[in-house]
Amino acid sequence: MAARTLVYLVRHGEQSSDETGPDPGLSELGRRQAHRLGQRLRAVPFDAVHHGPAARAAQTAQEIAAHLPGVAVHECRLAADVTPVPAAGRADQAVPQRYADFLDAVPAPERDPGAVRLRAAVDHWGQVGDADRYELVVTHNFVIGWFVRHALDAPFWRWLGLNQFNCGLTILQWRADAPPNLVSFNDIGHLPPGERGRTPTELLS
């Protein structure tokens, strides 16, 4: 069988509402969510744990990595919180009008015109080598939505509405002889009902 690359995508745990400043870390519930996920993933032979620069992503990665002894953890800007928006003049990237106001309001530092950064992230983690590889990426809701949209070969805008619970688990598989495969999406079997937080339909980022 051809070698596989499996990418485990995790939305960060619930962020704190008590911290002030632009980059809050995890709430107590968020830490419990990450701990539960770490327990679930402890048998997976990860090659590395990657996380975006936001405090909530870094803290989630550290909580999970406590259950993965010997696995390297590092920050990667490809896992940063960005929002794919249509590039100017690209008719193939047009979005339904009902989403236009939301995308127009995305702050400049968070905008990813044409999903250039997100396409680079897919290319980076979706590479297939000579041996099986397991990568854990702790990132954000829209980033995971884009990866799923890519795997399903859906329209540019269809990442919208593909929302995850905090510490929900999505798994994608790549092989050289096949298109990407969505193994699981927003799996929260490791989270008791009382620790799941807000429902995904209420989440925007």
* Domain spans of the chain, in order of start: 4-16+23-190
61: phi then psi, degrees, rounded to nearest 5? -60, -40
Distance CA 180, CA 73 (A): 25
Tell me: the pLDDT tens digits for 62-86? Answer: 999 999 999 999 999 999 999 999 9
CATH of 4-16+23-190, one of 3.40.50.2300, 3.90.1170.50, 3.40.190.10, 3.40.50.1240: 3.40.50.1240
Tell me: the pLDDT tens digits for 137-157? Answer: 999 999 999 999 999 999 999
Distance CA 24, CA 45 (A): 30
Give every CB contact of residue 126 below 8 A, 6+ residues apart in sequence. Answer: 5, 7, 172, 174, 180
Tell me: the pLDDT tens digits for 86-99? Answer: 998 898 999 999 99
Distance CA 121, CA 78 (A): 5
CA torsion sign for 9, 14, 17, 18 is negative
Whether 19 shows a pLDDT value over 90: the answer reads no
Radius of gyration of the chain (CA): 17
Whether 196 shows a pLDDT value over 70: the answer reads yes
